[in-house]
């Protein structure tokens, strides 16, 4: 079982790297400061490993013992938590959507805690509050700064000035990757640390290596999504985006708060797009899809972990029946809403009824 738990965690770490790549060097790549994806992903990998080893310990402690009692977490629970979170993240990676590993991991831990009725409610309320506050702050801050900058006339930079800004942007992206290592590696190794398989130091080292490998080997599609498919930005704008995300995540990591790095960066990008082009940014399909996945993902991993605990560890088949009923009812309601919407559109286009 110990080997299975470790393999689950390493698989999850690879997927964390694949998803986290877009939240770090994606901006430098999208603005053109780094031309080739392999270079962007290499910088990302190095930054993640450095951040994990140097400053990843506090968030590891929160994931391992800040949401539910550490004594409850067994190797079976580790497999359930990591498996539920990894499956949610893997689905998002297939859709090329930058998803928060913190959200799916915390959701999976909460699902187990709810199943055993040992959830630290105050802790989870604080974490969820910061999930809303920090991305919102990133959006508003970026929107305001870009609006202020656009009030002043543009000045054409010399080649030397452009080169300096490109270097600053790459360094900002590296700092953001560093912050990803501080915050996101804990999601893969926190449950292992809680179960006693790894120490905090071992977890941050091994987790950092595999998250970095995931960014380097699997991060291309999400890099393209965050870098080029949401909105276009220049070098100075990229510096603003990267430094905003990096600063917010590093401060959160120092206090041990697992925060959604990808949501923070993507919210900054959306704020930039709205400042430049108005609310039309919210009509882009990729933005709509991202917002939906952000809301659904923690509930998906929560439901999966709760279901697996009920099925394999508690034998509570009544809970499974209720969850399946809720799922079928939700799918039916969504299908009905879609049918009504299509019927309304058809009537509007044809100018009549049945």
216 and 336 share one domain: no
pLDDT at 92: 67
pLDDT at 257: 93
How far is it, in rounded angstroms, from Cα 298 to Cα 286? 19
91 and 223 share one domain: yes
Is the dihedral angle over the CA atoms 340, 346, 349, 353 positive or is it negative? Answer: negative
Other Cβ atoms closer than 10 A to 25 = 36
Q: Inter-axis angle of helices 75-94 and 159-195, to 10 degrees? A: 150
Instruction: Provide the domain limits for residue 58.
Output: 2-315
347 and 199 share one domain: no
Distances (CA, A) of 58 to 50, 350, 351: 15, 60, 61
- State the distance between the two ends of the chain, measured CA to CA, in whole angstroms: 61
pLDDT at 68: 94
Note down pLDDT in tens along the chain; length 354 residues. Answer: 788 888 889 888 988 888 766 568 877 887 788 888 899 999 999 999 999 999 999 999 999 989 999 889 999 999 999 989 888 777 766 766 666 788 889 999 999 999 999 999 999 999 999 999 999 999 999 999 999 988 888 778 788 888 899 999 999 999 999 999 999 999 999 999 999 999 999 999 999 999 999 999 988 887 887 676 656 667 888 899 889 999 999 999 999 999 988 788 888 888 988 898 888 776 667 677 777 777 888 888 898 899 899 888 888 778 778 777 877 887 788 778 877 777 766 655 555 444
Is the dihedral angle over the CA atoms 331, 335, 340, 341 positive or is it negative? Answer: positive
340 and 240 share one domain: no
Q: What is the pTM of this model?
A: 0.84
Q: What is the DSSP letter of 154?
A: P
- Pair of tokens at residue 138: 């990133």
307 and 323 share one domain: no
Selection from 189, 235, 169 nearest residue 11 by Cα: 189
297 and 321 share one domain: no
Selection from 268, 263, 269 nearest residue 228 by Cα: 269
Q: How many domains does the chain have?
A: 2
62 and 129 share one domain: yes
């Amino acid at each position: 079982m110990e080997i299975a738990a470790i393999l689950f965690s390493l698989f999850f770490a690879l997927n964390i790297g694949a998803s986290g790549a877009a939240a770090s060097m994606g901006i430098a790549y999208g603005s053109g400061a780094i031309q080739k994806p392999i270079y962007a992903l290499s910088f990302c990998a190095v930054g993640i490993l450095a951040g994990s080893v140097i400053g990843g310990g506090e968030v590891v402690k929160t994931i391992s013992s800040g949401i539910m009692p550490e004594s409850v977490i067994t190797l079976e629970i580790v497999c359930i938590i990591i498996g539920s979170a990894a499956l949610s993240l893997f689905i998002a990676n297939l859709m090329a959507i930058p998803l928060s590993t913190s959200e799916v991991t915390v959701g999976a831990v909460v699902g187990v805690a709810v199943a055993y009725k040992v959830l630290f409610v105050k802790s989870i309320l604080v974490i969820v509050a910061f999930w809303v506050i920090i991305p919102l702050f990133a959006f508003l801050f970026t929107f305001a700064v870009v609006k202020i900058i656009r009030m002043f006339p543009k000045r054409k930079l010399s080649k030397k000035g452009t080169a300096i800004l490109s270097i600053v942007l790459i360094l900002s992206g590296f700092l953001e990757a560093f912050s990803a290592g501080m915050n996101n590696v804990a999601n893969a190794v926190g449950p292992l640390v809680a179960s006693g398989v790894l120490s905090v130091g071992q977890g941050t080292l091994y987790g950092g290596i595999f998250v970095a490998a995931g960014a380097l080997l699997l991060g291309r599609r999400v890099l393209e999504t965050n870098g080029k498919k949401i909105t276009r930005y220049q070098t100075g704008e990229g510096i603003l985006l990267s430094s905003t995300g990096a600063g917010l995540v590093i401060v959160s990591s120092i206090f041990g708060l697992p925060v959604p790095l990808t949501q923070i960066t993507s919210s900054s990008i959306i704020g930039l797009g709205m400042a430049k082009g108005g609310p039309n940014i919210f009509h882009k399909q990729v933005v709509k899809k991202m917002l939906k996945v952000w809301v659904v993902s923690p509930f998906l991993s929560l439901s999966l972990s709760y279901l697996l605990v009920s099925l394999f560890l508690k034998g509570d088949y009544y809970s499974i029946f209720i969850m399946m009923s809720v799922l079928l009812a939700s799918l039916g309601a969504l299908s009905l809403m879609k049918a009504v919407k299509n019927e309304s559109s058809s009537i509007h286009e044809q100018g009549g009824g049945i």
